[in-house]
A = this chain, B = another copy of it.
Amino acid sequence: MAVKERMDYIKKQLHSQSYKLTPQREATVEVLLENEEDHLSAEDVYLLVKDKAPEIGLATVYRTLELLNELEIVDKINFGDGVSRYDLRKEGANHSHHHLVCIQCGVVSEIEEDLLGEVEVKVEREWQFKIKDHRLTFHGVCSKCQHEKDSTNEETGRQTVDQL
């Protein structure tokens, strides 16, 4: 529901830094908003955005994702397979959210709650390090794989990632 509002907000963020919201950029942001729970690679975004703007080039997608990353609208993350993935920040969030990666089926799920509050207080105090952001990923076995034996990603349609 908030898709329209969030698009407007992102438009404002771009304009406030005197960037334009071109049709290509708007289509790219739309794809990210419509696939918020996924973790799309640049190539993934490119294929999805072609439906909305068929003439777009892959280089523009890379440039747009890079720009959105600089503006801290998306986080560029890496799960160890060879590609960068672009993860829209949650509404109002000012830092990256956490992830759970299943080492059996490859599914990636999200933890929106910030679990690091106390930990960061301790790190700032004891290591004299001023924290600006964090990356936290747990590797393990998802609830589905704990029950169903085997289960080597039986095409559930959910976004997955290779190995550990």
Bound state CA distance, A7 and B131, in angstroms?
A: 36
Per the 8 Å Cβ criterion, residues 30-84 of A in contact with B are 76, 78, 80
Nearest to A123 among chain B residues (CB) is B138
Given known pairs A80-B78, A135-B135, A136-B135, the reply for A143 and B129 (CB within 8 Å) is yes
Q: Is A1 an interface residue (CB 8 A)?
A: no
Asked if A131 and B135 make an inter-chain contact with CB atoms under 8 angstroms apart, the answer reads no
Q: With a 10 A CB-CB cut-off, give which of A109, A115, A140, A164 has the most chain B CB atoms.
A: A140
A116 to B115, CA, bound (A): 9
A149 at the binding interface (Cβ < 8 Å): no
Number of copies: 2
Q: How many Å lie between the Cα of A120 and that of B119 in the bound state?
A: 12
On chain A, the number of residues with a Cβ less than 8 Å from chain B's Cβ atoms is 33
Mark interface residues in A79-120 (1 if CB within 8 Å of B CB, else 0): 010000000000000000000101100000101000110011
Q: Are B146 and A130 in contact (CB under 8 A)?
A: yes
Tell which of A132, A143, A146 has the most Cβ of chain B within 10 Å: A132
Q: Which of A111, A127, A164 has the most chain B CB atoms closer than 10 A to its own CB?
A: A127
> Can you sample 10 A-B contacts with CB below 8 Å?
A115-B123, A119-B119, A120-B138, A128-B146, A129-B140, A131-B140, A132-B141, A133-B140, A135-B135, A135-B139
Q: Which 3 A-B pairs have the closest CB atoms?
A: A128-B143, A131-B140, A130-B141
Beyond A78-B80, A132-B140: 5 further Cβ-contacts under 8 Å?
A100-B123, A103-B132, A109-B127, A129-B142, A133-B140
